């Protein structure tokens, strides 16, 4: 409950900060927020686009949150997402089989691609105590340049060298019934996959021995080792699962929201996943709600900019303020604790004064 209050406070403070920025630049905050939320919720089509925009963020947010819960800071979700999406696209472009089997193979390829890309930082952390922040950032750029050269060499489009060939409809997550249901939006089967993965990760973290061991290593590595838990194995396992989740984000982005990969672009969803995890308090359900909220902000800022003179960077500033307050959750927790203690003290004093009067 306390984490929910902290997250809500972070959102409220972020919106207040955005309102102050709008007012300071000579714009109407109420008008800005009206169009911002209308841009993501005005009709079924825009709501569907919000869900689609938030889908890759669910996976990258889960990736970062899972690593956080096990004592690791995975900043490599962008590279893992990119490489996982590349592996899935390679399967989709080169294997000709029935759609259900093809999508299953693409899901497996995305999981393996993301996991492989996270394995190296996990191994370096476990064997040589190399900090995962450094190694995962480096792996992001290794992924960037690997895809930069691999796409033109193996998956190049016929006339455009800066992107891969487009996936056939059967090799994408698009579903006509979903698109029709949401007024022609680009919402796709990735959303259902994301919800399933959220449930699986919540079960692993809270209900399994594996989840207990991984969290124990995250809380105190030395105590976990003393209790007989394989610390090095747990670190590598945690990074593999975290990378696999980010790889699924690549599938959702490149075979769901889009149908090809463009070179020279490191997906921002990987870094945004850090914000999603912080706002979601590293909880799978919290990450799901947080990702959809960020999807709303991202899909609505263009409409706000089109209908007003408010620059879309205001929406980015709102997100940054929310991240700041979510990241300072310890300070906010102290403020909430102080506020609640003062209320209890005031209630106790009033009760005592009431008895004295009697």
Which neighbouring-strand residues pair with 24?
none
The DSSP-derived string for 163-187 is: BBPPPPGGGS---HHHHHHTTT---
Residues β-bridged to residue 164: 156
Long-range Cβ contact pairs of 300-307 (< 8 A, separation 24 or more): 300/35, 300/36, 300/37, 300/38, 300/39, 300/40, 300/41, 300/46, 300/50, 301/36, 301/39, 302/39, 303/35, 303/36, 303/38, 303/39, 303/40, 303/42, 303/46, 304/32, 304/35, 304/36, 304/39, 307/35
Rounded Cα distance, 301 and 312, in Å: 5
- Residue 191: name the closest of 178, 208, 210, 206 by CA: 178
Q: Are 272 and 315 spatial neighbours (Cβ–Cβ below 8 Å)? A: no
Cβ contact 248:60 at 8 Å: no
Q: Check: CB of residue 312 under 8 Å from CB of residue 83.
A: no
Query: Distance of alpha carbon 45 from its chain centroid, rounded?
Result: 22
Closest by Cα among 356, 299, 352 to 39? 299
Per-residue pLDDT tens digits of the chain, which is 358 residues long: 677 777 888 888 888 988 998 999 888 999 999 998 999 998 999 999 999 999 999 999 999 999 999 999 999 999 999 999 999 999 999 999 999 999 999 999 999 999 999 999 999 999 999 999 999 999 999 999 999 999 999 999 988 889 999 999 999 999 999 999 999 999 999 999 999 999 999 999 999 999 999 999 988 888 888 889 999 999 999 999 999 999 999 999 999 999 999 999 999 999 999 989 988 989 999 999 999 999 998 988 888 888 888 887 887 888 788 777 777 765 666 666 777 677 777 776 776 666 655 5
Contact assessment for residue 250 and residue 75, using Cβ atoms and an 8 Å cutoff:
no
Place of tokens 């409220």: 12
Give the number of other Cβ atoms within 10 Å of residue 14's Cβ.
Answer: 22
Question: C-alpha distances in angstroms, 84 versus 76, 106, 270?
Answer: 12, 9, 12
Structure tokens given for 299? 């899909």
What is the pTM (predicted TM-score) of this model?
0.92
Cα separation of 255 and 249, whole Å? 10
Q: What's residue 330's pLDDT?
A: 55
Please answer whether residues 60 and 249 qualify as being in contact, where contact means their C-beta atoms are separated by less than 8 angstroms: yes
What pLDDT is attached to residue 345?
74
Any idea what DSSP says for residue 156?
B
Q: Are 292 and 50 in contact (CB under 8 A)?
A: yes
Within 10 angstroms of residue 202's Cβ, the number of other Cβ atoms is 17
pLDDT at 356: 59
DSSP code, position 259: S
Q: What is the pLDDT of residue 334?
A: 67
As a whole number of angstroms, the distance between CA 116 and CA 118 comes to: 5
- Tell the residue number behind the tokens 């709303």, with chain if given: 296
222 burial class (0-12, 13-18, 19+ CB within 10 angstroms)? exposed
The SS3 of residue 355 is helix
């Amino acid at each position: 409950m306390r984490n929910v209050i902290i997250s809500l406070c972070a959102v409220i403070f972020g919106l207040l900060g955005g309102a102050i920025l709008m007012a300071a630049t000579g714009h109407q905050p109420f008008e800005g927020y009206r169009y911002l939320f209308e841009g993501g919720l005005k009709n079924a089509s825009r709501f569907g686009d919000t869900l689609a925009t938030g889908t890759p963020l669910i996976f990258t947010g889960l990736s970062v949150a899972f690593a956080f819960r096990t004592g690791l800071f995975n900043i490599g979700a962008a590279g893992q997402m990119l490489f996982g999406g590349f592996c899935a696209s390679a399967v989709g472009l080169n294997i000709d089989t029935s759609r259900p089997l093809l999508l299953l193979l693409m899901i497996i390829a995305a999981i393996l691609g993301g996991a492989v890309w996270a394995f190296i930082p996990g191994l370096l952390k476990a064997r040589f105590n190399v900090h995962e922040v450094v190694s995962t950032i480096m792996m992001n750029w290794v992924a960037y340049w690997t895809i930069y050269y691999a796409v033109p060499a193996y998956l190049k489009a016929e006339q455009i060298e800066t992107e891969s060939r487009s996936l056939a409809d059967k090799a994408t997550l698009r579903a006509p019934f979903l698109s029709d249901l949401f007024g022609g939006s680009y919402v796709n089967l990735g959303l259902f996959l994301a919800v399933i993965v959220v449930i699986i990760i919540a079960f692993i973290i809270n209900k399994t021995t594996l989840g207990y061991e991984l969290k124990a290593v995250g809380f105190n590595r030395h105590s976990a080792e003393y209790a007989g838990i394989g610390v090095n194995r747990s670190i590598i396992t945690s990074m593999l699962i975290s990378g696999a989740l980010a790889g699924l984000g690549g599938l959702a982005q490149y075979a769901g929201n889009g149908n090809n990969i463009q070179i020279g672009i490191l997906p921002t969803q990987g870094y945004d996943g850090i914000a999603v995890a912080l706002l979601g308090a590293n909880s799978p359900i919290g990450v799901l709600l947080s990702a959809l909220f960020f999807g709303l902000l991202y899909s609505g800022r263009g409409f706000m900019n089109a209908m007003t003179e408010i620059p879309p960077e205001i929406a980015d500033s709102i997100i940054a303020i929310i991240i700041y307050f979510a990241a300072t959750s310890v300070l906010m927790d102290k403020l909430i604790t102080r506020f609640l203690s003062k209320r209890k003290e005031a209630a106790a004093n009033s009760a005592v004064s009431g008895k004295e009067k009697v």
